[in-house]
Amino acid sequence: MGEPMRIRAQMAGDKVEVRVLMSHEMETGQRKDGGGNIVPAWFIQNIAVMHGGQTVLSAQWGPAVAKNPFMHFRFAGGRVGEKVSVTWTDNRGDKRTDEVAITAG
Amino acid sequence: MNSVRREVLKAGGGVTVMALAVSAGLLRPEEALAQAAWNKAAFETRSFADTVKALGGAAAVENPGVRFASPTPEIAENGALVPVTVTSSIPKTESIAILVEKNPNTLAANFVVPNGTEPFISTRVKMGQTSDIYALVKADGRYYYAKKEIKVTIGGCGG
């Protein structure tokens, strides 16, 4: 189910600054291997970031998101010590969730 | 369980099949939701206008409230890793999509921004060649965009 994500959730003023680095091939389905065969598409399709039972960001991705995807955003209403979780699901049905506590800015 | 699930998804792919799979206990409801939510039609489009339609809009208008911000480059040396940051100052921004016009499929990503989350997103996309990129914002049910050309020195979709 993939390598752990690296997630940082840090207070920045009254907002929580979230940076996520995922480990995923994000294979486009356009590339050919050494034998000339198409390498099948393999990419994250759905992302959800949760805090306190609420979705603070969700996304749908195609294969044009870069390998080992990165995203950075900010949400309001979080406090130091509260948990932020990130879940991805890819086109093979694989899924991974990782969680961190919000740190002081 | 996963192999069963994949077979179900492969065989059907439709919402009805998903509903049957949920009722048969093959899928937990939240998993079915996550899978069904992926907008396949939108990710298969090949133009800006078609993507807007596939996302549910009639048309989009250019608006200075949608902006590309640093570190979005003018020139990307490596098309496999192009940083893109988008901000929106349009009230009631609901979602921010990133489109690359000359990629095989136009839509790269669509972020849903709920209330309380800043209308700002930074990520990295692949670009096969020099192209216009679009930031498409849905705000209060309407669509707005910004456009910017990024020159690509080495494409990110070849091999």
| Domain hosting residue B104, numbered range | 42-152
In eight-state DSSP terms, residue A39 is P
Is A59 in the B-facing interface, judged by CB distances under 8 Å? yes
Q: How far apart are CA A15 and CA A21, in angstroms?
A: 20
Is A60 in the B-facing interface, judged by CB distances under 8 Å? yes
Q: How far is B144 from chain A (nearest CA, A)?
A: 18
Q: Please, are residues A44 and A24 in contact by the beta-carbon 8 Å criterion?
A: yes
Is B36 in the A-facing interface, judged by CB distances under 8 Å? no
Mean pLDDT of the A2-21 span: 96
Is A70 in the B-facing interface, judged by CB distances under 8 Å? yes
Residue B110 makes CB contacts below 8 A (sequence gap 6+) with A59, A60, A61, B39, B42, B55, B95, B96, B97, B98
pLDDT digits (tens, 9 = 90+) for A22-56: 999 999 999 999 999 999 999 999 999 999 999 99
Mean pLDDT of the A62-89 span: 98
Q: Which helix (H) or strand (E) holds B34?
A: helix B29-37
Q: Please, are residues A39 and A32 in contact by the beta-carbon 8 Å criterion?
A: yes
Q: Cα B86–A83–A86 angle (5° rounding)?
A: 50
Domain with B101 in it: what CATH number? Answer: 2.60.40.2470
Same domain, B24 and B59: no
Exposed, middle or buried, B131 (CB in 10 Å: 0-12/13-18/19+)? buried
Is B79 in the A-facing interface, judged by CB distances under 8 Å? no
Hey, of A8, A47, A60, which one would you mutate to test binding to chain B, going by the most B CBs within 10 A of its CB? A60
Percent of chain B exceeding pLDDT 90 equals 73
Specify the pTM.
Answer: 0.85
Same domain, B61 and B120: yes
pLDDT of res. B138 = 98
Which of B142, B149, B135 has the alpha carbon at shortest distance from B48?
Answer: B135
Assess whether pLDDT exceeds 70 at residue B13.
Answer: no
Q: Report the relative pairing of strands B75-78 and B142-154 from DSSP bridges.
A: parallel
Same domain, B71 and B143: yes
Q: Tell me the β-bridge partners of B76.
A: B152
Same domain, B72 and B140: yes
Q: How far apart are CA B7 and CA B115, in angstroms?
A: 37
pLDDT digits (tens, 9 = 90+) for B87-123: 999 999 999 999 999 999 999 999 999 999 999 999 9
pLDDT band at B132 (very low <50, low <70, confident <90, very high): very high
For chain B, counts of helices (H) and of strands (E): 5, 9
pLDDT of res. B11 = 44
Residue B30 region by backbone torsions, left for phi larger than 0, else alpha for psi between -120 and 50, else beta: alpha
Q: Which of A45, A55, A66 sits opposite B126 (nearest CB)?
A: A66
Mean pLDDT of the B55-64 span: 96
Tokens of B67: 């902006």
Residue B157: inside a domain, yes or no?
no
Assess whether pLDDT exceeds 50 at residue B78.
Answer: yes
pLDDT of res. B34 = 45
Mean pLDDT of the B67-89 span: 97
The class of domain A6-101 in CATH terms is mainly beta
Mean pLDDT of the B150-154 span: 92
Mean pLDDT of the B49-78 span: 97
pLDDT of res. B127 = 97
pLDDT band at B159 (very low <50, low <70, confident <90, very high): very low
Q: What is the ipTM of this complex?
A: 0.97
pLDDT of res. B156 = 67
CB-CB under 8 Å, B111 with A58: yes
Residue B159: inside a domain, yes or no?
no
Q: Residue ranges of the domains in chain A?
A: 6-101
Same domain, B11 and B50: no
Percent of chain A exceeding pLDDT 70 equals 99
Q: How many beta carbons lie within 10 A of that of residue A77, not counting itself?
A: 15
Same domain, B123 and B85: yes
SS3 at position B18: helix
| DSSP line for B72-84 | --SEEEETTSEEE
pLDDT of res. B87 = 98
pLDDT of res. A90 = 97
